[in-house]
Amino acid sequence: MRSKNRKPSNVTFTFLQNKIIQFVMLGSGLVLLLLLFYFLSSFLSEDKHGIDYKTSQVLKVIIVCCVTWIIMRLFRVLLTHSRKAKNIKEASHYIIVFFNWGLSLGAIIFIAIVIFEQASWGFLTAGGILGAGIAFSVQGIVLDIISGLCLALARSYKIGDWICLNEKMVGEIVKTSWRHIEVRTKYNSAIVIPNRRLTSEIYENLSRFGKIYRQDVNISLGHDIPIERAEAVLTDALLRIPEVTKTGIHEVWAEYLGEGGIRYTLRFGFEGLRMMRPTRHKVLLSATKLLHENNMHVSEKLGSYSLSKTVPFFQSDPMPAKAFLRKITLFKALTNEEIEKLADHIDYSFIEPGDDLIVIDDVRTSLFIIAEGVVDVIIPFKEGEKLINKVLATLGAGNFVGERSLLMGEKRSATVRARTQVLAYKVTKEAFEPLLKARPKIVDALAEVLVEREQDTFKKVRDINDSDKKNTLKEEIIQRIKEFFGV
């Protein structure tokens, strides 16, 4: 019993789709038409003024047109059958167009000279003059077609590639044709570029470099700001952007000294060119925010030249401690009066790049607040039989390290090393103890912050996130703080 859902096969369609069958049928038709042309030329061309002669001319023209069409079709079948190579597949359209144009022109010349017996030299002369005029008027089109064929064979550009149009503009290729490509810029405008320009001018194909890209942003600051301090703050601004730190490309350097300021270059990385504008926006936003917080102003003019005395980083005036203490999450439970008392008993220090702010297993009970600059938190990891130091985190201004040593008297669990020059405030147990004894309720808020920090560290090291363990950890931290301070 035949299934109702079974569709009858289209034998004829399948038969005609077979490339070999098409080739045989077209070849046979071509041979028959050529034999017919020979028959007409031999037996129906005696009297040039008779009806038979004129009929044979019309039939010959029809035969030549049919032969031309068959050859075009045969060429298409052969070419499409060879599309296994990607470059041929991309270029097949251009090859077919060129072949069809050439064959059509050859058929017209053949009809004029052979069938209608026109003078070849006169025809060629007139055709040459006409062809020269046509060639001059369509030279741009011809160059576009030839250039498009070369680009398709070389696979220089494809849809989805990003190309650099000039120093300030890039765009994505959204369409390619035999005459031009269409590019959509980062401002969502469309630009059409002829193929001949793509082969005669330099357009950098950014998509050939991979998925990670980089860009530079220039910011000019006043001469009165020490270079070391400016580089530390701007580096911190880059490291606050997850999209940038993920790529590992974040550099800052002083590039140019001019009238009115020093120009700094911020180099940052991003994944995919679609993220270029959003990432650059975040870089500028982060940089201006940190510069404002650190009372560092962008140079507003380049005309007047005034060079103030430049002092080393370690001689520059530090930022007020009270302002930073109020921003630290660990001290969010402190009142303004308690903040002022604590600020009167803390010291600041400057750390050079490569120097250690904290050393692992040290027993000193103090906490450091990063006011300016960038530090790396380094922890030894075991790989096989060796211990290798790896950077667990990179911290900038507004972060703090050593909280467990300050509040619970623990040994240092990591080494904290300055990546740039760093300004850090130091809070000791002796400075913090009077506040805790005067108001023991602070312990609960301190423990909450420590739990959050502990959970974040666990995620980075071994991806732990368990609410029951969090509650147990908080109770343990509260108990240890009370025991350490005797409250």
Look at residue 412 and give its three-state secondary structure: coil
Identify whether the C-beta of residue 158 lies closer than 8 Å to the C-beta of residue 181.
no
Proportion of the chain above pLDDT 70, given as a percent: 76
Q: Is domain 321-485 in CATH 2.60.120.10, yes or no?
A: yes
Please determine, for residue 198, whether its predicted confidence score (pLDDT) is greater than 60.
yes
Identify whether the C-beta of residue 456 lies closer than 8 Å to the C-beta of residue 379.
no
Q: Which CATH architecture has domain 212-293?
A: 2-Layer Sandwich (3.30)
Which phi and psi angles does 55 have, rounded to 5°? -65, -40
Identify whether the C-beta of residue 82 lies closer than 8 Å to the C-beta of residue 55.
no
Query: Domain map of the chain by residue range?
Result: 15-137, 157-208, 212-293, 321-485
Q: 157-208 maps to which CATH number?
A: 2.30.30.60
Res 282: pLDDT: 92
Res 356: pLDDT: 92
Res 421: pLDDT: 82
Please determine, for residue 406, whether its predicted confidence score (pLDDT) is greater than 80.
yes
Proportion of the chain above pLDDT 90, given as a percent: 4
172-181, 294-303, 337-346: which is most confident = 337-346
Q: Which residues contact 357 (CB under 8 A, 6 or more apart)?
A: 351, 368, 375, 401, 416, 417, 418, 422, 424
Please determine, for residue 11, whether its predicted confidence score (pLDDT) is greater than 60.
no
Higher pLDDT, 173 or 454: 173
Confidence of residue 137 (pLDDT cuts 50, 70, 90): low
Look at residue 260 and give its three-state secondary structure: coil
What is the rounded end-to-end Cα distance, in angstroms, of the chain?
A: 91
Confidence of residue 316 (pLDDT cuts 50, 70, 90): very low
d(CA 236, CA 325): 18
Please determine, for residue 167, whether its predicted confidence score (pLDDT) is greater than 80.
no
CA atoms within 13 A on the CB side of 28: 6
Q: Which residues contact 118 (CB under 8 A, 6 or more apart)?
A: 112
Higher pLDDT, 58 or 252: 252
Residue-level length of the chain: 487
pTM: 0.46
| 77-96 pLDDT tens trace | 777 665 544 444 445 666 78
| 29-49 pLDDT tens trace | 777 777 777 676 666 555 666
CA atoms within 13 A on the CB side of 74: 16
| 430-482 pLDDT tens trace | 988 888 888 888 888 888 888 887 776 665 555 433 444 455 666 777 777 77
